[in-house]
Structure 1
Amino acid sequence: MLGKAVFVFTFSGLLCLSALAQQREAFIPFINSEHAWVDSVFNTLNDRDKVAQLFMVRAHSNLGQRYIDSVAAVVQREQLGGIVLFQGGPVRHAQVINRYQQLSKVPLLVAFDGEWGLGMRLPDSTISFPYQMTLGAVQNEALIYQMGLEVAKDFRRMGMNINFAPVVDINNNPRNPVINFRSFGENKQNVTRKGLAYMRGMMDGGLVTSLKHFPGHGDTDVDSHYDLPRLNFTAGHLDSMEMYPFRELIKAGASGVMVAHMNIPSLDKTPNLPSSLSKHIVTNVLKKRLDFQGLTFTDAMDMKGVVKNFGGGEADVRAIIAGNDVLELSENSARAIDMVLQAIKQGRLTQQDIDTRVKKIIATKYWLGLDKLSAVDLTNLYRDLNRPQTEALNQRIADAAVTLLKSDSLIKAIDYTRRTAIISVGLAQISEFQDMLGWRFDNHMHYVLSPQATADDVAAVANELRRFNQVIVALHDNRVRPRSTLNYNSTVRLFINELASMNTVFCIFANPYSLAGLPGIEQAKSILVCYQNDDIMQRAAAKVILKRLTPSGRLPVTINAFFRYGDGN
């Protein structure tokens, strides 16, 4: 058990930072107390309006005016409790938020998937912080707390108030297609420490957060967006491993928990029943056994993992019966509201079931300050969302994540006057990493190999290497998301194997699991793991090569017998 004393010791630095954050009443006791404003709003709602507060609808700002108008019609007609924003642009997002808030009698909850900040959905115009797998390597949780504060500042500047983050799934399955790099790693204590720092930063910054995906989606090989994963672990294993971060962060005051769509026979034997629809899992385990009194969110209710076996709106009714407070992205919210009202008449639900949750939702809006709602100011919005101090923090986090595997002897021996080959594999053009190194090496040559380079391309570079005394190789995954295997052909992989047997420094700008798909790379004398292909990580690696940074990160996952959790010099 990670006891209270360990939390206090590990997060002593966070306590000082937290004191500097905006002082707020504790979320859990606040939303479970009586408030005059909450009662005044609740008393204006009819039975249909009350049920509508339990639903959040999808919203985009990049799908054209007709789509924006259609969501506006739903918000106005159904008077739902909130919206969940996806792709678009900052100004367009702010404009639709202003419009939808004006159409709503009760201020809307405005949610967003911002696991690595606004850049998760708005990558072209806002800051993307490192993925959680990268953060798992960072040994200074105070940096992650500061990141949480900055993310909260961005959200509130945009008019958003809920972040569906952090992910506290323990990724102990390298083949996981849906969590993977979105997790802090495989160690439950490390996941808990990092999740607590991020959660506290965001909550101290005035956001509602949502731990996901309860009771733990890290050891699955099925994506619940497309099918229903099945977890065959014992209840004891789930309690001691998958649920561990949720339990500890609930003790620390977590404001929200998102329930996953997974079939878990050891917790509920009902065939094909997703965990999000299980009363035992949501009410008995999460709310009673773990004593969670915050907001319970479902994962998206339009995912195949939940509607595959419970279509026609039945999934929405069962999700509420199970004990969820807020349903995210029903396939048809109007139909769902009608069916919930019918379920009350049939005795499947009681009005008290609904009323208790509605008051908690309205109290959440009160805690967020929505009783004094004002329109999002569009003036200087881009500038405010791209602050120099935030960029600087982002680079500090990247610097802290770089992980040195094997020895640093080659790096220490680098001579900037010697003939040096700097090779980027997996790209089509010179990288930021190469640009940063080029100015410092007096006699160097850049080479670039695509992931599908031909044998002739590889042979040409290999022949050139005879002229050089030093070789630095960067392996890049240039895809949008870093997957567990690199998309390199067999010719390129064989070349990497040959390079590893030479005195070569490797820098891996890719998912750390991808090292397992590069047989022979363990022979390399120096390997810098940089986790993702962003410019900030390339700059961090260049600083190490230029001897301006000592790498301090540690592997958050076990890759194979050669590279294990916690490795790093």
Structure 2
Amino acid sequence: MSFSKNYASVYQHFHLLFLGVLLLAVSLLSSCREKEQPARKVVFKAQEVDIEDTIKYPNALITSLHRKNRWVDSVFRRLTPDERIAQLMIVEAFSNKGKEHEEDVLHLIRKYKVGGLIFFQGGPVRQAKLTNKFQKASKVPLLISMDAESGIGMRMDSAIQYPLPMLLGAINNDSLIYRMGVEIAMEFKRLGMHLNFAPVVDINNNPANPIIGYRAFGENKNDVASKSLAYMLGMQSEGIIATAKHFPGHGDTNIDSHHDLPVIPYGRDRLDSLELYPFREIIKAGVGGIMVAHMHLPKLDSTSNLPSTLSRPIVTNLLKQELKFGGLVVTDAMVMKGLTKYFKPGEAEVRALQAGNDVLERLVSVPKAIAAIKLAIRQNRLSQLDIDRRCKKILAAKYWVGLNHYQPIVIDSLYANLTSSRAYETTRRLAEGSQTLLHNKRHIIPLKRKKKVKYAVLVVGASRPTFFQKKLGEFMPVENFVLPRRSDKKARLILRRKLKKYKQVVIGLYGPNIRPSNTLLLSKDEITLVNELLDQKRCLVVLFDNAYTLTELKEIRKANGLVVSYQQLLPVQEAAAQLLAGRISANGKLPVTVNEYFQYGDGL
């Protein structure tokens, strides 16, 4: 499906911009940065691209945060000292929690003059109406944000959900990820939002990681850097601030910081060689924000149980001074137990500002935080001058996203604008580009159409026939079967008997949620049945879940055909069916190492 002429022109312009910056980043790969002069020009498809020109637009955001600005000065002068503190705060908002929640948010806006909101679950029209109401009540236009790693559909109904990073990590064409960034930015703008807490630039090199996993582009630092750049440049080319996370790298932990404080035992040698690499590259390319994680790194700051969010050596010395990051430094949510387990509301916010953060996100208590910060100023633990500088920085970000000319969201045609054919086309291309073929013994794929032969298509872990079965049935004769979770013994016996007459079985494996999972959550008996089929039949397996879950099936290596599709999104299920039918080819590569048999980069 083709773009409109206008969109195609914009896309081509910023695609060229992305390629220039990406090639600059690649040219600095594995180099000694303090000695090497950056490349002045690169050649791509016989076109000369001036590197300094290509980085001008994204870095305009960083420059604008520190440039003198009449609008910023005018707004700043109208704020009281307390209101300047509140401008540093982003509070949570939901469009599905009813009137009481709405009044609570309005109270924080009217009384304390908080600087922004982060929206979570709800619907686009409801959120747009609430945003208009909240903006009308605010003394200063609010910076509206969302934690939307895979687009606004990750948080709300009636919106497109783009694939998550593990799937994107399998794609060999990063310009598709740039295009996704553009689409997500356009949806943000249509909803009156300005800042996305994405991309995730963590390197997931720990299969047991309970919180990053499929949220990361993979385990290879170069892939993570290039794909993060593509996503970030796509968003910021359309005027949406991107926020790289979770500094200084959350990929190698086995503790979820939502529930406790992870401890990272590594020092600078390891961090410099791996975790910090994508942050360095995305900072050089002009990312507008960086989110700091709640992790304890004793070799960087030995203070007992101190999250990195509250560490001056990590936030100021490393991120701001050594890595020279001049954008918005944002805390991870201040309500997470990795922080609240050791620091009370108020004291946590004071320490976060002492560490060097600019934005305090999702506070436990705004009144307690403001009171504690005021006390810290009186005690000379914080200075009003530093608060004022950060307030102006946030106001400058508001200016960059256009809030100096704030206009209410137009509700008419909102749903249609958020579900454009262009966005569906982008999702389709991402889904098709990610299909990863690990086994194709006897050229079982594509499936052959034979007279009077039906393929048995068994979906495991689904509660009913799936979209994958429906689409595959459009290409060839199939008979569909379902093995749900918590199946009973009788149902499994009947299924075994029915499958006996088929020489070849297509198995679709589904996790327990629409999002990828860390486990398939199949019972021992269900796993046994699947292993039996793999051992006895010519099986073709498609995994619609986290690639790491391949380890749960002992006989998976015996599959004649093995495809990793990474997610259950409908475009992904359709792409898998098209691959099996020979309508598309497999171009994806595993972005992570699963075990000794399925390694990073595998893919036929």
Bucket of the pairwise TM-score, normalised by the shorter protein: over 0.9
Tell me if the contact between 1:61 and 1:96 (Cα under 8 Å) persists in the aligned partners.
yes
Tell me if the contact between 1:419 and 1:469 (Cα under 8 Å) persists in the aligned partners.
no
1:104 to 138, 148, 153: 138
1:568 corresponding residue in structure 2: 603
Tell me if the contact between 1:2 and 1:189 (Cα under 8 Å) persists in the aligned partners.
no
Amino acid at match of 1:344: I
Tell me if the contact between 2:467 and 2:570 (Cα under 8 Å) persists in the aligned partners.
yes
2:470 corresponding residue in structure 1: 435
Is 1:383 aligned with 2:405? no
2:578 corresponding residue in structure 1: 543
1:518 corresponding residue in structure 2: 553
Tell me if the contact between 1:401 and 1:551 (Cα under 8 Å) persists in the aligned partners.
yes
1:367 corresponding residue in structure 2: 400
CA distance in 2, matches of 1:220, 1:97: 37
Give % identity: 43
Name the SS for the 2:62 alignment partner. helix
CA distance in 2, matches of 1:24, 1:239: 25
Distance 1:305 1:163, change over 3 A: same
2:175 corresponding residue in structure 1: 142
2:254 to 207, 221, 246: 221
Is 1:356 aligned with 2:395? no
CA distance in 1, matches of 2:517, 2:228: 22
CA distance in 2, matches of 1:11, 1:164: 33
Alignment of structure 1 residues 261-272 onto 2, 5 Å: 261-272=294-305
Alignment of structure 1 residues 126-525 onto 2, 5 Å: 126-407=159-440, 409-412=443-446, 414-417=448-451, 418-442=453-477, 444-501=478-535, 502-525=537-560
Tell me if the contact between 2:542 and 2:576 (Cα under 8 Å) persists in the aligned partners.
yes
Amino acid at match of 1:549: I
Amino acid at match of 1:109: L
Amino acid at match of 2:474: W
Amino acid at match of 2:194: N
Deviation at 1:349, TM superposition (A): 1.2
CA distance in 1, matches of 2:66, 2:445: 56
CA distance in 1, matches of 2:483, 2:255: 33
Tell me if the contact between 1:422 and 1:471 (Cα under 8 Å) persists in the aligned partners.
yes
CA distance in 1, matches of 2:56, 2:133: 28
CA distance in 2, matches of 1:521, 1:4: 37
Deviation at 1:461, TM superposition (A): 2.2
Distance 1:31 1:107, change over 3 A: same
2:86 to 47, 52, 77: 52
CA distance in 1, matches of 2:99, 2:429: 40
CA distance in 2, matches of 1:373, 1:214: 32
CA distance in 2, matches of 1:2, 1:386: 34
Deviation at 1:2, TM superposition (A): 9.0
Distance 1:222 1:517, change over 3 A: same
Tell me if the contact between 1:21 and 1:205 (Cα under 8 Å) persists in the aligned partners.
no
Distance 1:492 1:125, change over 3 A: same
Is 1:553 aligned with 2:584? no
Distance 1:135 1:4, change over 3 A: closer
Amino acid at match of 2:95: S
Name the SS for the 1:377 alignment partner. coil
Distance 1:22 1:374, change over 3 A: farther
Deviation at 1:220, TM superposition (A): 1.0
Tell me if the contact between 1:54 and 1:81 (Cα under 8 Å) persists in the aligned partners.
yes
Distance 1:15 1:488, change over 3 A: farther
| Structure 1: gaps spanning 5 or more residues | none
Tell me if the contact between 2:346 and 2:371 (Cα under 8 Å) persists in the aligned partners.
no
Name the SS for the 1:130 alignment partner. coil
Deviation at 1:422, TM superposition (A): 1.1
1:5 corresponding residue in structure 2: 27
Tell me if the contact between 1:477 and 1:486 (Cα under 8 Å) persists in the aligned partners.
yes
Distance 1:268 1:72, change over 3 A: same
Name the SS for the 2:68 alignment partner. coil
Amino acid at match of 1:544: L
Amino acid at match of 1:257: I
Deviations 1:52-83 (A, max 9, x none): 11111111111111110111011011011111
Tell me if the contact between 1:406 and 1:526 (Cα under 8 Å) persists in the aligned partners.
yes
Distance 1:2 1:515, change over 3 A: farther
Deviation at 1:419, TM superposition (A): 2.9
| Structure 2: gaps spanning 5 or more residues | 1-22, 30-38
Tell me if the contact between 2:346 and 2:370 (Cα under 8 Å) persists in the aligned partners.
no
TM-score for both structures, normalised by structure 1: 0.95
Alignment of structure 1 residues 21-40 onto 2, 5 Å: 26-40=60-74
Distance 1:127 1:25, change over 3 A: same
Deviation at 1:20, TM superposition (A): 12
Structure 1 runs of 4+ off > 4 angstroms?
Answer: 1-4, 6-16, 18-25
Tell me if the contact between 1:482 and 1:510 (Cα under 8 Å) persists in the aligned partners.
yes
Deviation at 1:412, TM superposition (A): 3.5
1:42 corresponding residue in structure 2: 76
Amino acid at match of 1:310: F
CA distance in 2, matches of 1:235, 1:524: 43
2:17 corresponding residue in structure 1: none
Name the SS for the 2:445 alignment partner. helix
CA distance in 1, matches of 2:266, 2:461: 38
CA distance in 2, matches of 1:72, 1:126: 26
Name the SS for the 1:84 alignment partner. strand
Deviations 1:146-180 (A, max 9, x none): 00000000011001100000011111111111111
Distance 1:292 1:6, change over 3 A: closer
Name the SS for the 1:411 alignment partner. coil
Deviations 1:442-479 (A, max 9, x none): 4x311111122233323322222232243211111141
Name the SS for the 2:314 alignment partner. helix
